[in-house]
Amino acid sequence: MKTSATFLLLFYAALAFAQPKPPANRTVDSTDTYFGVTYKDPYRWLENIKSPEVEGWFKQQADYSNSVLNKISGRDELIAEWKTLDKLQPPRITAVDYENGRIFYRKTMPGETVSKLYYKEGINGQEQLLFDPLTYIKGKTLSIQSINPSYDGKKVLIAYAAQGAEVSTLKVLDVDSKQFLKDNIYPVSDGGSWTYDNKSFFYGWLKTDDNKDPKARLNTKTKLHVLGSDNTADPDFFSNESYPALKIDPGVYPYAFLNKDSKSYVFAGEGSVQNEMKMYYAPIQQSNSGKINWQVLCTPADKIVRGMEVLGDQVYAITYNQAKNYKLVSTNLQHPDWTNATTIAAEKSNQTLESITHSKDFLFLTYSDGINNHLSKYNLHTKKTTEVKLPYTGTVNIYCPDNKTNNCIVLITSWNKPFTEFSYNAATDAFTPGTFNKPAVYPAAYKDLQVEEVEVKGHDGTMIPLSIIYKKGIKMDGSNVCLMDSYGAYGYSATPYFSVRENALAVKGVVYAVPHVRGGSEKGEAWYKAGYKTTKPNTWKDFISCAEYLIAKGYTSAGKLAGTGTSAGGILISRAITERPDLFAAAICNVGCANAMRLEFSANGPVNIPEFGTVKDSTECKALYVMDGMQHVVLGTKYPAVICVGGWNDPRVIAWQPGKFAAALQNASSSGKPVLMKVNYDNGHFTEDKSVTYANFADQYAFVMWQCGHPDFKPKQ
Strand 155-162 relative to strand 430-433, pairing: unpaired
Report, in this order, helix, strand and coil percent for the chain, each rounded to 5. 25, 35, 45
Strand (E) or helix (H) holding 395: strand 395-399
Strand (E) or helix (H) holding 127: none
Q: Look at residue 288 in the predicted model and tell me its pLDDT.
A: 84
Q: Please name the residues in contact with 54: beta carbons below 8 A apart, sequence gap of 6 or more.
A: 45, 46, 47, 48, 656
Q: Look at residue 19 in the predicted model and tell me its pLDDT.
A: 54
Q: Look at residue 10 in the predicted model and tell me its pLDDT.
A: 38
Contact in structure between 567 and 685 (CB atoms under 8 Å)? yes
pTM: 0.95
- Residue 90 is given by DSSP the state P
Q: Look at residue 717 in the predicted model and tell me its pLDDT.
A: 76
Distance CA 557, CA 470 (A): 15
**Sign (positive or negative) of CA dihedral 119, 406, 396, 255:** positive
Distance CA 425, CA 400 (A): 10
Q: With respect to CATH, is domain 91-216 assigned 2.130.10.120?
A: yes
Contact in structure between 598 and 42 (CB atoms under 8 Å)? no
Measured from the Cβ of residue 153, the count of other Cβ atoms closer than 10 Å reads 20
Q: Look at residue 391 in the predicted model and tell me its pLDDT.
A: 95
Q: Report domain extents, the chain.
A: 54-84+451-707, 91-216
Distance CA 26, CA 576 (A): 26
In the chain, the amino acid numbered 485 is D
DSSP 239-288: STTT-GGG---TTSEEEEEE-TTSTTEEEEEEESS-SS--EEEEEGGGGG
Measured from the Cβ of residue 618, the count of other Cβ atoms closer than 10 Å reads 11
Contact in structure between 622 and 615 (CB atoms under 8 Å)? no
| pLDDT mean for each 10 residues of the chain (717 residues) | 37 45 92 98 98 97 97 97 94 96 97 96 96 94 96 97 94 98 95 93 96 94 97 97 97 96 97 96 91 97 98 98 98 97 98 98 97 97 98 95 96 96 97 95 95 98 98 96 98 96 98 98 97 98 98 98 98 98 98 98 96 98 98 98 97 97 98 98 95 97 98 92
Contact in structure between 631 and 39 (CB atoms under 8 Å)? yes
Distance CA 492, CA 61 (A): 32
Q: Look at residue 190 in the predicted model and tell me its pLDDT.
A: 80
Contact in structure between 562 and 707 (CB atoms under 8 Å)? yes
Tell me how many helices (H) and strands (E) the chain has: 11, 38
Q: Look at residue 526 in the predicted model and tell me its pLDDT.
A: 97
Residue 79's SS3 state is: helix
Q: Which of 544, 541, 497, 548 is nearest to 519 (CA)?
A: 541
CATH number of 54-84+451-707: 3.40.50.1820
